[in-house]
Chains A and B, each alone.
Chain A
Amino acid sequence: MAGYADGEHDNARRFRDAALPYLDDVFTLARYLMRNAADAEDAVQECYLRALRHFDTYRGPAMKPWLLTILRNVCNAEFARRGKREVASDCGAEKEADEIPLWQEPQVSPETMLLRQHNDDTIRRLVAGLPQQFREVIVLREVNELSYQEIAQVSGVPVGTVMSRLARARAMLRSAWNVAEGAAS
């Protein structure tokens, strides 16, 4: 610990107080974006290191979306490094999305859907099955509980795009859900 001046300890303490409470949020997004636990952990650690490095220029507004923005950048950088197709590129994901039927009429009523017990794993699996940009918007909204404005900041798109993506994401999720319901009954 020697070698750090008091002000530096102070800065680290402020960073700790501000950023660590969101560790589960950041890890959750990483888990859904990276799909495997080890990669997610690496991404989260890199995210916090970067956040710490840039904390002195951090001017708000809110810590959670700021951290999630960095995490998303870390994940995309990793995808790019690997040269995988799973990059948050709009055209690619759109194409991918079109292969999935956007709308299916429900085979069960919404009431049944609500009443029937879903274990968390089923829902996670359905979310994990969405194409990247739709998975991202669903997790940011339903799990990280960001506002539309914050999601727009994290994903770097206008609020209108957030709204249309969320509508499509939920429609896809509903279809997948109904298929899962159909298989279960």
Chain B
Amino acid sequence: MNCAECEVLLHALLDGELDAGHARDVEAHVAQCSACAEKLRAFRAMRGAMAAANLKEAAPASLRSRIEAALPSPAPRVANPLKVARPSRRTFFGGFAAGAALSAAAAASMFLAVVRNDQEQTIADEVVSAHIRSLQAGHLTDVETSDQHTVKPWFDGKVDVAPPVVDLTAEGFTLLGGRLDYIGGAPVASVVYRRRKHIINLFVARRLGSEHASVTASTVQGYNVRHWSDQGLDFWGVSDLDGEELGEFVQKVSTALHPDRPS
């Protein structure tokens, strides 16, 4: 890797967007190039300072009221975190004047990606294979700790996502650690939990298709599988736990991902 490539890729490294191979390349280059090492240090410091600053602007209350007033139903409902947006085919908002022809529809179609059922089944099979492999090989965790603040940064730069790591010990699911796995030829993060004697692998990858608002349950080779997506990530929970307890696990994880929402 040369310095020009490194100058671009080091940002992806800092942002946790780099795959494992490129992350190693950047680290190897930085180890023997003091100029790039200096840049990496400087940008890491800058990014830290920006993260510490509050750069988000709160929308004025008057604006919020104006937008709320435009909605026909005044009573907000308690949201189920897994049922975010289930689009309806019905158009109800005929009341607004048609503005400039907009590209929201174009934008929506740009995002349109459909995970076909057979594709989903293939991934489910791979996820279960990865789960079984992790139990057989004596290689359950790469980083072994019950501290969520150790597990999360460990994934930094190893996979192209920053998987949320939640501590559910109090809920009866002990965090064992994290592992790098390969599914569909791409590195994915696995966060490993234990419930009594049962291991749960929670695989987290960049979303592979359209957002699944609801949880898909399946059973593959006797293992229970739950698939859902949230915040642009795909989650696959696999375990020999019974369906009900795995469902409870999924519920706890998604509740923890939305601490601001009532469960």
Q: Which residues of chain A have a CB within 8 Å of any CB of chain B?
A: 1, 4-5, 7-18, 20-21, 23-28, 31, 37, 41, 44-46, 48-63, 65-66, 69-70, 73-74, 77, 106, 110-111, 113-114, 118, 120, 123-124, 127, 139, 141-143, 147-150, 153, 156, 163-164, 166-167, 170-171, 173-174, 177
Question: By the criterion CB–CB under 8 Å, are B45 and A110 in contact?
Answer: yes
Query: Which among B57, B213, B231 has the greatest number of chain A C-beta atoms within 10 A?
Result: B57
Closest to B232 in A: A62
- Bits for B61-97, please: 1 = Cβ < 8 Å to A, else 0: 0011011101111111101000011111111110010
Q: List the 10 closest pairs (A to B, CB-CB), nearest first.
A: A60-B211, A8-B92, A27-B59, A110-B45, A18-B85, A9-B73, A114-B45, A54-B104, A110-B42, A61-B211
User: B197 at interface (Cβ–Cβ under 8 A)?
Assistant: no
Using a Cβ–Cβ cut-off of 8 Å, how many residues does chain B contribute to the interface with A? 76
Given known contacts A1-B72, A1-B73, is B102 in contact with A7 (CB within 8 Å)?
no
B137 interface hit (Cβ, 8 Å): no
In the complex, besides A11-B92, A27-B58, 7 extra interface pairs with C-beta distance below 8 angstroms are: A28-B57, A52-B70, A56-B92, A118-B49, A142-B50, A153-B107, A173-B46
Rounded to whole angstroms, the CA-CA distance of A49 and B67 in the bound complex is 8
The answer to whether A164 touches B63, judged by C-beta atoms less than 8 angstroms apart, is no
Give B50 Cβ to nearest chain A Cβ, in Å. 5
Complex-state Cα separation, A66 to B209, whole angstroms: 15
Q: Given A8-B72, A41-B60, A110–B41 Cβ distance below 8 Å? A: yes
Closest residue of A by beta carbon distance from B234: A61
From A12, A26, A31, A148, give the contact of B71 (CB < 8 A). A12
11 A-B pairs with CB atoms under 8 Å apart are A4-B72, A14-B85, A17-B76, A55-B85, A55-B93, A57-B87, A57-B105, A61-B111, A61-B209, A118-B49, A177-B46
B111→A45 contact, CB < 8 A: no
On whether the beta carbons of A66 and B107 are closer than 8 Å, the reply is yes
Report the nearest A residue to B102, measured CB to CB: A50
Q: Main SS of the interface on chain B?
A: loop
A137 to B38, CA, bound (A): 23
User: A66 near B206 (CB under 8 angstroms)?
Assistant: no
Asked if B138 is at the interface (CB within 8 A of a chain A CB), the reply is: no
CB neighbours of B104 from chain A (8 A)? 50-51, 53-54, 69-70, 73
B-side contacts of A17, CB under 8 Å: 76-77, 79, 84-85
Residues of B near A31 (CB, < 8 A) are 57
Interface residues of B in 179-201 (CB under 8 A from A): none
Please tell me if the beta carbons of B85 and A44 are within 8 angstroms of each other in the complex: no
Q: In angstroms, how far is the closest chain B Cβ from the Cβ of A108? A: 10
Whole-angstrom distance from the CB of A184 to the nearest CB of chain B?
14
Q: Which residues of B contact A106 (CB under 8 A)?
A: 42
The CA of A120 and the CA of B93, in the complex, are separated in Å by: 39
CB distance from B211 to the nearest CB of A (A): 3
Q: A8-B92, A123-B53 are in contact. Are A147 and B206 (CB under 8 A)?
A: yes
CB atoms of B76 and A111 under 8 A apart: no
Q: Of A20, A37, A58, which is within 8 A of B108 by CB?
A: A58
In the complex, which residues of chain A have a beta carbon less than 8 angstroms from the beta carbon of B112?
59
